[in-house]
Amino acid sequence: MEILAFGVQADEKPLLEKAFAGHHELRSLDVFLNEDTAPIAAGYEAISTSVNCGLGHRVLQTLAAGGTQLVAQRSTGFNNIDLEVAERLAMTVARVSSYSPYSVAEFAWTLGMAVNRRIVRAAIRTRDFDFRLDGLMGRDMHGRTVGVLGTGKIGEAFTRIAHGYGMNLLGWDVVENPACVELGMKYVSKDQLLAESDLISLHVPLMPETQHLIDAAALRTMKDDAILVNSSRGGLIDTAALVAELREGRFTGVGLDVYEAEAGLFFLDKSLEPVEDDTLARLVTFPNVLVTSHQAYYTEDAVGQIIEATVKNVLDYTAGRRSENVLVPRS
């Protein structure tokens, strides 16, 4: 069986092709799956997608009409896939249920420290041989309070880093993580966490219940000098509301590895094109904001585990097996 993989990054391609060698043929594309590119998949029983591919009802219908029966997503998140439509079309959908939590947790901490210590601004200055310290003052994290929204595997890894820095730990989740409690984390309401935390990091999945978890009211609850980090999903934050608060001069720093309208932007070179997203254009102009392109997961370790799980998902499909990675089982 030949598999068609969409949205394959240059660094990812040789690893993906090597992993599938000896099992199935693989065709890798750097384009993302959407309504325009879906017809390319005609004749492929199995495809593999990335998180920024769009698998709404029209795309899924096109895929099914072309003979696609398996969608193997190379990510944990699956909010980009209409699972109800996939089930109606008798398509199997699988994801990567877990990979190295340290990749995202370490990057989230890096974002927080980068905006706290003004690393990007300092690096730009020194390239111009400007070695002044004006405007570069940060704060010690030791003794301050971190708020972790979502304390699963990634949230726990982030908590361990914060604990190592000697921070007070506040957590919010539907279920308490015993490992975080053992580290000294106190679980509180979302409002209390937002009001008391100096550094807030988001590690919850994007679902209807968490869409705009950080909305205008939540942002107003935060300290004026707080640091906000999001390395999970862009839709967790109401970006327009965030821009409005930043315009008022609030927050020491904001580190975003994700953006709610990133599809069609992130992972692509848009440097020579007119900027059409006014919200993102305004967001990146703030000197206390750092935006990266959904790269928190992008380590050799994590990508290797994602690819390994993706190969296993395809092999399980061909063998008629079902695993914890299957979101919509084979009918």
Strands 25-28 and 70-73: unpaired
Pick the catalytic residue: 74, 203, 233, 250? 233
Give catalytic status of residue 276 as yes or no: no
C-alpha distances out from residue 21 to 3, 24, 250, Å? 12, 6, 52
Pick the catalytic residue: 12, 245, 260, 262? 262
The rounded distance, in Å, linking the Cα atoms of 194 and 218 is 7
Task: With H, G, I as helix, E, B as strand and everything else as coil, classify residue 121.
Answer: helix
The rounded distance, in Å, linking the Cα atoms of 90 and 330 is 7
Specify the DSSP element, H or E, that contains 172.
Answer: strand 168-172
SS (H, E, C) 56-85: CHHHHHHHHHCCCCEEEECCCCCCCECHHH
Query: Contact 257/107 with Cβ under 8 angstroms?
Result: yes
Q: Which of 122, 167, 178, 115 lies closest to 144, judged by CA?
A: 167
Give catalytic status of residue 203 as yes or no: no
Sheet with 326-328, strands from edge to edge, namely 25-28, 2-5, 46-49, 70-73, 92-94, 326-328
Q: Look at the alpha carbons of 47, 48, 52, 57 in this order and tell me if their dihedral is positive or negative.
A: positive
- Which positions are annotated as active-site residues? 233, 262, 294
